[in-house]
Structure formats: C-alpha cells, structure tokens
Amino acid sequence: MPTRAPSTARENLGLGSTAHVDLSGHYKNTTLHEDERQVDMQTVIARMALISILVAAVAVTGAFAQNLPGGRAEVVYKDIKVMQGTAADHLIPSMQHFEAALGVTCVHCHLADRAASTPMKETTRRMMTMVKAINASTFNGAKEVTCNSCHRGATEPEANPELATENYKPWSPDGANGVPDLPPVAGPPAAQLIDNYLKTQGGEAGLAKITSRVVKYTATNSVGGVANMELISKGDSSVSITRGNNGDAVIGHAGNNSWQGAANGAVRDGREYEFDELRLQDPLYIATHLKTMLTNVETRRQRIGDQEVYQLRGTAFGRVPVRLSFNPNSGNLLRLVYLLDNVYGQNVVRIDYSDIRNVQGAAFPFTWTIARTLGFQTVKVQSVQQNVPVEVVRPTPPPARP
C-alpha cells in the first residue's frame, strides 16, 4: 500500500499556511495552483503568434475548441501530450482524480516543475491512453472505467480477489456485488420536493425579501487546521472569503463572471469547477435557483443511515450531476452530493447539513460536513446576517510595478 508522505501531504492539505481551506471543502493550495498556470512571457508571446496563424483555421473548423472551459490544456500548460484537446479547467481536477485513485500526492509523479518529464509521468501517460482506449472500444466512450476501477487507492492494483476474514463478509449488503441491485424506487414528483423545500425557506415570497446574506463560520479540516471564512451572497452574485494572516483568499462570481483572488492580490478567472462549487455551496443560491438550475430531473426514495429521505436528482448548469436529499416531513435539505467532471472520471463531493435553525423565517444549517476524496471538513456557522449592505465585485489586481 502506498503511503502519503507527511512532507508532501502539506501540498494537498495546505498546511503550509493558514488561508487555504475554503468552503468548497477543498484543501486549497492557492499558491500552488496559481503557479500551475504560470507560463513565462516568452511562451505566451510565441503562442500568441501561433494563435494568430491558427485563427483562420479555427474560423473554418468552427467553435469546437472555443467551448473548452479555460481553453485547451496544451495552450495553457507546457508539456501536454495525452490531454491535448481537453479543457484546461479540467486538468487540475484530473490530477486530483489521479491522486485519490492511486492514494498518492502530486510528487509521486511530479517534480516541483510540473512540466518536467519523470518516469512516473510516462507510466501515467500509458495508463491514460489505455483507459481512453478501453472506454472507447468497450463502453462507447463513456467514462465507465476510470483509474479507480483498478487502483482503488493503491499504486499497484490487486490482481487477485481478497481472502476471507474472520467475519467472512464478501459482499456489502447495499452493494451490487453478489446480490441483485434493487430497481430504483421513484419518490414524489420533483415539483413537490422543491415546493416543500422552498417552504422551509419562507417560500418564494420570503426568499424575495432576502436581498443579501452574510454567513460567518469556521472550517476545520481532517488534520485539525481551522480557517475563518465568510460567504457573502447578494442577488445573483456571491463571494467566499478565507481570512488569512497575509491577506484574504477569495472565490467570487457576479452572474456568469467568476474569479479567484489569492492572498497576495493576484486575480484570475475562476475555473469551471470553482464557479460551479461556489454556487452549489451557497444555500441562498440553491434556494433561489432550484426551480431553474436542474435538467434531467428525477426523484428517488432513499435512506441516509436509518432515516428515510426523498432524493431529487438532476444535472445542474447543464453539466454537474447533483443529488439533493430532503427530510420527507420537514422538507429540509439534509444532503447535497455533486459530481465534478474531469477528463478521466468524476470527483465526488458530499455535504451533510445538520443543526438546522430558523433564521428570520428561513431554515439554515449551522453545521455542515463536507467530504471529498482528498479531505474532510467540518463547518460551524457562527452568524448569519441578512439584508445587510454588501457589495460583491471582482477585485482589481494592484497595478504592475513600473
């Protein structure tokens, strides 16, 4: 079994500094990710020249490439061989998928310069090509087989099935292994679940009266790191702030414009997953958009532990599969699961809400647990203020030094 070397775990868990845990439950490493995209000026200029040569060709072949979030990986990064033609915004989530599937951190494959060649990168490239080929030849190109299908958190997959233990239990009772999968049982109509939920929020009339909301909370990660955070929502915009000793890290959006601001003042466009997570993790956004943000809607009867729940499933923003579980009696939102896409699979996030209190007529959870493959977080809300004067604007980076 692989181990996570303590020194490298820092890279993932953001322990090197304080301001790295964000509401997304992600142990952000703002500095690292910021660096990931730094392309030196020479390269940029060279590529701009290349791009202008290619413009004519793009105009002919259509908008195919332009729709990739963040542009093409090979334009943004330096040494892309296998992921050519994929979205730059999906590169880091794909890397995180590798980490979780193999139970390693970035440094298992990379040197500090991520573009530098290593034997492990070459092995990985063969794996990436293999996975793509399996899915293309056998699963119509759907991402059925992922790195995790074989690796399951280990660098060397087990070729042989496991041996029995003292309490021989080869199949988990809920799993599909060995027992027939029960057909999914439909729940009440989606409109009814949404209506019941909106009632917990004071109904649409009540929601309309909430012009802004400021939530202050602490977020504690799996290894005890605590961050002071704030979520400010106003109309169709919001910003998540991580307070740090050396400045605040922010992720915000105003309508469809999203951004990430590092503690050092650097600002860049938000990546697709940052934008999606920001909206999905804002209870006010969910409440005000639940009727319109989902497509492919269906419902299920399910259980969370021994509690029966009604689940609403659908696709948010046309791309993120989400599952919302509601208490059948109170209508409260108990759990939100969403699956963020990457090139090789999906990164799953689960948020459980508890300690639900009434804040001026709207139910609001004061405790959240956010679980994802690379970390676990507990959110404790300290205060919720509504209709306070706030502004959500994209920060302007400080002017470059002359």
| Candidate residues 23, 68, 75, 145; the one interacting with ligand HEC per rule CB under 6 A | 145
Identify the residue among 68, 75, 109, 190 touching ligand HEC (CB under 6 A).
109
For ligand HEC, the binding residue among 20, 26, 90, 114 (CB under 6 A) is: 114
Cα–Cα distance measured from residue 310 to residue 328, given in angstroms and rounded to the nearest whole number: 6
Residues 6+ apart with CB under 8 A from 27: 12, 13, 14, 20, 21, 221, 374, 375
Q: Is 258 in the site for ligand HEC (CB under 6 A)?
A: no
* Near ligand HEC by CB under 6 A: residue from 8, 17, 149, 220: 149
The bridge status of strand 226-234 relative to strand 237-243 is antiparallel
Q: How far is the CB of 348 from ligand HEC (least distance, A)?
A: 16
Choice between 136 and 179, CB closer to ligand HEC:
136
Does residue number 238 form part of the binding site for ligand HEC (CB under 6 A)?
A: no
CB of 99 to ligand HEC, least distance (A): 5
Number of residues that bind ligand HEC (CB under 6 A): 39
Instruction: Read off the tokens for 362.
Output: 């709207």
In the complex, the smallest distance separating the C-beta of residue 363 from ligand HEC, rounded to whole angstroms, is 36
- Stretches 150-158, 171-179, 189-197, 258-266: which one binds ligand HEC (CB under 6 A)? 150-158
Residue closer to ligand HEC (CB basis): 125 or 291: 125
Tokens describing residue 182: 């029960």
Asked if residue 124 binds ligand HEC (CB under 6 A), the reply is yes
Residue 130: count of CB within 10 angstroms of its CB: 12
Buried/exposed 159-168: b ≥16 CB within 10 Å, e otherwise: eeeeeeeeee
Residue with Cβ nearer ligand HEC (78 or 291): 78
Complex with ligand HEC: residue 20 or 394, whichever CB lies closer: 20
Distance, in Å, from the CA atom of 55 to the CA atom of 388, rounded to the nearest integer, reads 48
Secondary structure tally for the chain: helices H, strands E: 11, 13
**Is 65 exposed, middle or buried, given 0-12, 13-18 or 19+ CB atoms closer than 10 A?**
middle
Candidate ranges 42-50, 123-131, 264-272, 304-312; the one touching ligand HEC (CB under 6 A): 123-131
Task: Give min distance, CB of 141 to ligand HEC, in A.
Answer: 15
Contacts of ligand HEC in 340-369 (CB under 6 A): 344
Given candidates 4, 10, 72, 110, which one binds ligand HEC under the rule CB under 6 A?
A: 110
Stretch that binds ligand HEC, among 145-153, 210-218, 228-236, 365-373 (CB under 6 A): 145-153
Tell which one of 9, 150, 337, 348 touches ligand HEC (CB under 6 A).
150
Here the tokens at position 11 are 């890279």
Does residue 209 bind ligand HEC (CB under 6 A)?
Answer: no
Cβ-contact 180, 356 below 8 angstroms: no
Contact call for residues 113 and 388 (beta carbons, < 8 A):
no
Pattern 64-103, binding to ligand HEC, x per CB under 6 A? Answer: -------------xxxxxxx-------xx--xx-xx--x-
Phi, psi of 75 (to 5 degrees): -85, -40
Let me know if 10 is exposed, middle or buried by CB neighbors in 10 A (0-12, 13-18, 19+). middle
List, in sequence order, the alpha helices (H) in 162-237. 190-200, 203-208
Q: Considering Cα of 38, then 39, then 45, then 51, what sign does the dihedral take?
A: negative
Site string for ligand HEC, 28-67 (x = CB under 6 A): --------x-------------------------------
Minimum distance from residue 306 beta carbon to ligand HEC (Å): 35
For residues 154-173, which are near ligand HEC according to CB under 6 A? 155-157
Q: How far is the CB of 140 from ligand HEC (least distance, A)?
A: 17
- Euclidean distance between CA atoms 3 and 104, whole angstroms: 7
**Quick one: tokens of 273?**
């997953």
Q: Enumerate long-range contacts of 83-91, CB under 8 Å, 24 or more apart.
A: 83/128, 83/343, 86/343, 87/272, 87/343, 89/271, 89/272, 89/273, 90/272, 90/341, 90/342, 90/343, 91/36, 91/343
Measured CA to CA, the distance from residue 349 to residue 276 in angstroms comes to: 12
Name which of 72 and 301 has its Cβ closer to ligand HEC: 72
Q: How far apart are CA 160 and CA 177, in angstroms?
A: 16
The residues that touch ligand HEC, with contacts defined as CB under 6 A, are 36, 77-83, 91-92, 95-96, 98-99, 102, 104, 106, 108-110, 114-115, 120-121, 123-125, 127-128, 131, 145, 147, 149-151, 155-157, 344
